[in-house]
Amino acid sequence: MFESDEIRKMLKAADGQLRAMILLGVNCGLGNTDCACLPLSALDLDAGWLSFPRPKTGIDRRIPLWVETIDALGEALKTRPKPKDEEDKGLVFITKYGQRWVRTKPSGKTEGKLVASDSIAQEIRKLLKQLSLNGGRNFYALRHTFETIGGEAKDQIAVDAIMGHVRDDMASVYRERISDERMIAVTNHVREWLLGDHSRAGTRPAIGQS
C-alpha cells in the first residue's frame, strides 16, 4: 500500500486524468480496469456518488465521492480527448491518442494473439519513478490502501460493499442493503487519514459532514 504522504505527493505531481484516477483509487478502491471501463453514466457529480458494478465480478457498487475527487473528475472531463472508437464514446477516461487506458491489441509477433496494453500502469510507473516511490508498487496498491485504511473505520461490511467483495456466509445472503451513511463513514475516514489538515482551504466539507 501507499502511505498518506506518498499519495499526497502523487496527487501534487499528477494532473488531469491521472490525478482523477489516483483519487478514484484511494477514494473508491478502483483498480486499473475499473478506471479504464468507467462509464460517464456511472457518475453523479452533483450528488457526489459513483454507481458502477465491478467489471471483474459484476457486483454492484455505490460509492460516495470526496469533493476533491468530484473536482478532479470535472477538470478531467473538460479536456477529455475525443475517442477514436464509437464504442468508447461513453467512457470517462480516454488517452491523448483517443483510446482506452487499458485495452487489448495484436501482439505483432503471433497472428491472432492479443496482448494487454495498460497505459495507467505505464503512467503510474513513470510518476513513481519521478517521485522515487517505486518499491515494487503500482496503481493497484491504491486499492490495497483503501481496503487497509477503510477497515480501520470498523465497518468491514461497508468496506466490502465499496470494494465489490462478496463473502460466502449466510449474513451476506440475508443482508438486503447497506445504508449510505455507512459508506460515507468509511470513505470519510479514509479522506481524513489522507488529507486531514492538508485538504484545500475553502472547499466544501466531505460528503455527510455539515
| Joined grid coordinates for residue 99 | 483510446
* pLDDT (0 to 100) of residue 167: 66
In whole angstroms, what is the distance from residue 137 CA to residue 84 CA?
31
Query: Torsion-angle region of residue 143: left (phi > 0), alpha (psi -120 to 50) or beta?
Result: alpha
The residue ranges of every structural domain in the chain are 4-80+120-197
Tens of each residue's pLDDT in the chain, 210 residues: 999 999 999 999 999 999 999 999 999 999 999 999 999 999 999 999 999 887 777 788 899 999 999 999 999 999 999 999 999 999 999 999 999 999 876 655 666 566 778 999 999 999 999 999 978 899 999 999 999 999 999 999 899 989 886 666 654 544 456 888 999 999 999 999 999 876 654 334 455 443
* pLDDT (0 to 100) of residue 18: 97
* pLDDT (0 to 100) of residue 203: 39
Nearest in space to 48 (alpha carbons), one of 63, 29, 65 = 65
* pLDDT (0 to 100) of residue 207: 54
Q: What CATH number has the domain spanning 4-80+120-197?
A: 1.10.443.10
